Structures are given as C-alpha cells and as structure tokens.
Amino acid sequence: MIVEIEGVPVHLAHPDELQVKWVGQEEVLRQLLASWLVVDERDVPMNPRLVGKPGVGKTTLAYAAASRLGREVYIMQATVDTRPEDLIVQPVIEGPGKLKYVASPLATAMLRGGVAILDEGNRMSEKSWASLAPLLDARRYVESIVAGVKIKAHPLFRIVCTMNDDSSTFDLPEYIHSRLQPQILIDFPERDEELAILKENLPFAEDKMLEYVTEFLQMAHAAEERYTVRDGISITRYALKLMASAELVGHEREAVHFAIRHVLGEEALRYARRR
C-alpha cells in the first residue's frame, strides 16, 4: 500500500500476524489495556513500557492486548544499530537514479491507526530515542528528515515498548523515561500459569513431561535463576524430538535432562528432579 504525505508517496509496511495467546496474568493485561484508554476528548493514550526478564512473554502480552482491541499490529525490533530513519522512513533505491520511501512498521502503525510494539527499546541509543520524543507526548507526530515530511499519528494509534532488565541495554534518557509511562512489570508466572503456557505452546506433549519441566522451572525461579518459560518450551521441544528418535523412546526423564544440559548448560541440572 502507498499513501501520499505532503505530496510524497510513501510505501507502507505489512502488519505482523502471530499465532500467540496470552495465558494467565490477567492483571498485567488489564493494566496495559487501561493505559491505552482515552477517557475524554481532551485526553491522549499513554505509552506504556513492559519490563521484565528475557523470555517472560512481554511481546506476547503486547500482541495479545493489541489483538483484543482488534487492531493491526506492527512490531519494530530495536537494536544498538537502530537509526532515526530506521524508525520513521527509509529511502530505498528503486531503479537508476530513482528512490522510493518506505515507512517503518512504527510509522505505518501511526498512519493506519494500528498498534506499534517497539521491541527491546532500551537497546537503542539516545539519538534514535530523540526522534520519537514528539510522538510520545501530546504532539503525537514524527518528522522524517530523509523524506522531508511530518507524520501525524492516527487517533487510534497506540504504542508499547518492551524492555529487558539485563545489563546489555542502555539507560533511557530522562526525557524519554518520563514519556514512557506507566511501567508494567512482568514477572515469572505462578506454577499453574506456567504449566498452562507450556500446554498452550506444546499441545502435543504429554502432561507428565510438561509437569516435570514446570517443576524444574519453578525450582529455578525459587533460586532466582533467569530461566524462563521460553527456556522451558525449548527444553520440552528438544526432549520430544529426542524421544522421537530411536535412542530415547520411553525415557522422558533422561530426554528432559539431556535437553536441559544442552539448552541451558550443565549447571541447570541442579534444579531437575532426579527421581
């Protein structure tokens, strides 16, 4: 799709379509949806940030919330190399001496009235964040220096930023931190919720294996390890593949232990029940 902005044709990105479902922790879903509400014609939606350890489901939560609103979802992956033009509009060579302008997923969501998920936003530099400052306050626009246009956000546009709480990220500039509110913390799920997540992602696995992996994860959480349900899904998936081979058919526990060792490392086996 192409739209014209101030006389400049801009090619739009395609929305993301994921087969994901948010399981459990309804309270954080409620908090996210509440932050996007507009309660008066003079009100504006907030720009929440989802904070938690890698693998706890921040992106899944954001996608599920957007889907509940029935909106198109656009995921923008942030990295240390993300430039301001990557966030807004990029020029692309279309032919000899000819350029076309391509909107980022974020800018496309602004134009289409969709939901933008800025994934792992605290990996970006301050220069990139600065280009989004007008979008994150009452002005709700961005300016593309490359294309020479100003893009105003559709009234239905919403944004959420996910952030990992690890050491591989930048500290947010204060003027951005104050714009990305509220902060919604995503913690490890409770045992029943974690088991339900494994069942949702691996409906073809036997309950016995899923319960064993859930017990492993809960033991790790109690010891404040950073292992997450994403790790549990990888462990279970690998164990199932091992059992499908000729070597470990009928040996669920051995398959899970082997998978733990090769997904998380030997030290993770301390949380695996031996008997």
Collapsed DSSP state (helix, strand, coil) of residue 164: strand
At 242, list the tokens. 């091992």
* More confident site: 128 or 20: 128
In this prediction, residue 110 has a pLDDT band, given cuts at 50, 70 and 90, of very high
pLDDT in tens, 197-225: 999 999 999 999 999 999 999 999 999 89
Is the pLDDT reported for residue 168 higher than 60? Answer: no
Name the CATH code of domain 2-185 (choices 3.40.50.300, 3.20.20.450, 3.40.50.970, 3.30.930.10): 3.40.50.300
pTM: 0.87
Q: Which residue's structure tokens are 């003027």? A: 175
What are the residue boundaries of the structural domains of the chain, listed by start?
2-185, 191-271
Q: How many residues does the chain have?
A: 275
CA distances from 244 to 169, 205, 209 (A): 39, 12, 14
